[in-house]
């Protein structure tokens, strides 16, 4: 599906807008990028990155999957007792024998990837500049469980809209970071890396790349990050786009977090929503 680029850019004039980007056209073309401070030896250094997973690590994963000790089959034909054995076994077979990691590795390494340290954590990111020097910088946050692999199909349509039915003025420079502790980013050694802190780190990243103005997009956990960025309103952030707009009052969120009772004073409709959220949390 192809979107009119002017409409897409118009989305970012809003603080929050529901719906996805809707750009699902695959592209095999990506422009190389050269961040301004690449190769610097200082604390703001941006280092080139390539994915190189040792074959032994891949083989070890396959051995461990093959050695899975399975429970007995559930005694019902539906999912009321949890994940069904046949579905789990099919999933493990796929990851153990069907998934071609090297193919994914080649796909990632065809893109410009970098690592930079922000607030003590190495942040991995893809950075693709458009041929259009007036392209709008865009940072895209993935969700949980997820990775930058989910987002690379957006790069072609966003950086080269002309090749996908758009106009040159609809171009974006695209930055896709791996969340701290995800993918090829480093693992935090302390607590506190919540959406607010990650949002501040994303602002540091964009400015470290030389962008004075930019927009941000996210879905699922990424939506929480861009919502935080919208609240923080750092200088240069022109707008955000979220795939998951939602607001939860503080007392409701606190009760949901610990599985507590519904706060007093809820209407019948609000209590019904609270109970449905509680049920959804218990299933997860």
Domain with 129 in it: what CATH number? 3.40.50.1820
Same domain, 262 and 219: no
pLDDT exceeding 70 applies to what percent of the chain?
Answer: 84
**pLDDT at site 43:** 81
Do the domain assignments include residue 149? yes
Kindly report whether the global pTM for this prediction surpasses the value 0.85. Answer: no
In the structure encoding, which two tokens stand for residue 74, read together?
A: 């559930």
| Same domain? 181 vs 276 | no
Domain presence at residue 219: yes
Burial of 263 (0-12, 13-18, 19+ CB in 10 A): middle
pLDDT at 279: 84
Whether residue 124 is contained in a domain is answered as: yes
Nearest to 283 by CA among 143, 70, 83: 83
The C-alpha torsion from 72 through 100 and 104 to 39, rounded to 10°, is 100
Q: What is the pLDDT of residues 111-151, one digit of tens each?
A: 999 999 999 999 999 999 999 999 999 999 999 889 999 99
Residue 65: inside a domain: no
pLDDT tens-digit series, residues 235-284: 999 999 998 877 778 888 888 888 899 999 999 999 998 998 888 766 55
Residue 178 sits in the same domain as residue 262: no
Whether residue 270 is contained in a domain is answered as: yes
Split into its structural domains, the chain has a count of 2
**Antiparallel, parallel or unpaired: β 121-128 and 172-177:** antiparallel
Q: Kindly state whether residues 122 and 193 are assigned to the same domain.
A: yes
- Are residues 229 and 276 located together in one domain of the fold? no
Range of the domain at 274: 257-284
Considering the domain boundaries, does residue 212 fall inside one? Answer: yes
Please tell me whether residue 38 adopts helix, strand or coil conformation.
strand
Per-residue pLDDT reduced to its tens digit, 147-198? 999 999 999 999 999 999 999 999 999 999 999 999 999 999 999 999 999 9
Average pLDDT score, the chain: 86
Stated as kind and residue range, the H or E segment containing 231 is helix 221-232
Question: What's the pLDDT at 248?
Answer: 79
- Alpha-carbon separation of residue 87 from 68, 79, 90, 100, 114 (angstroms): 14, 11, 5, 20, 37
> pLDDT > 90: what percent of the chain?
73
Say whether both 145 and 283 belong to one domain. no
Answer yes or no: do 155 and 27 share one domain. Answer: yes
Verify that 115 and 162 share a domain, yes or no: yes
The rounded distance, in Å, linking the Cα atoms of 71 and 74 is 9
Q: What average pLDDT score do residues 185-212 get?
A: 97
Asked whether residue 221 is assigned to any structural domain, the reply reads yes
Q: Are residues 39 and 168 in the same domain?
A: yes
pLDDT digits (tens, 9 = 90+) for 7-43: 444 444 333 233 333 222 222 333 344 455 555 667 8
């Amino acid at each position: 599906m192809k979107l009119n680029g002017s409409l897409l850019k118009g989305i970012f004039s809003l603080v929050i807008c529901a719906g996805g980007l809707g750009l699902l056209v695959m592209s095999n073309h990506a422009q190389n990028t050269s961040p301004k401070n690449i190769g610097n030896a200082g604390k703001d250094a941006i280092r080139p990155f390539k994915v190189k997973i040792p074959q032994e690590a891949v083989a070890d994963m396959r051995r461990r999957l093959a050695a899975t000790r399975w429970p007995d089959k559930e005694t019902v034909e539906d999912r009321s007792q949890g994940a069904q054995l046949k579905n789990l076994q099919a999933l493990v077979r796929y990851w153990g024998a069907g998934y071609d990691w090297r193919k994914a590795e080649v796909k990632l390494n065809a893109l410009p990837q970098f690592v930079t340290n922000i607030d003590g954590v190495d942040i991995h990111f893809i950075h693709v500049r458009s041929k259009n020097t007036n392209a709008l910088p865009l940072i895209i946050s993935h969700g949980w469980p997820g990775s930058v692999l989910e987002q690379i199909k957006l790069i072609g349509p966003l950086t080269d809209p002309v090749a996908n039915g758009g106009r040159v003025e609809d171009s974006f420079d695209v930055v896709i970071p791996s969340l701290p502790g995800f993918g090829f980013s480093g693992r935090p050694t302390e607590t506190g890396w919540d959406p607010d802190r990650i949002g501040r780190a994303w602002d540091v990243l964009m400015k470290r790349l030389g962008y004075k103005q930019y927009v941000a997009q996210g879905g699922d956990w990424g939506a929480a990050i861009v919502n935080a960025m919208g609240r923080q309103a750092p200088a240069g952030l022109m707008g955000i786009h979220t795939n998951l707009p939602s607001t939860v009052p503080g007392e409701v969120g606190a009760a949901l977090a610990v599985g507590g009772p519904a706060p007093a004073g809820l209407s019948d409709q609000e209590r019904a929503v609270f109970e449905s959220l509680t049920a959804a949390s218990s299933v997860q």
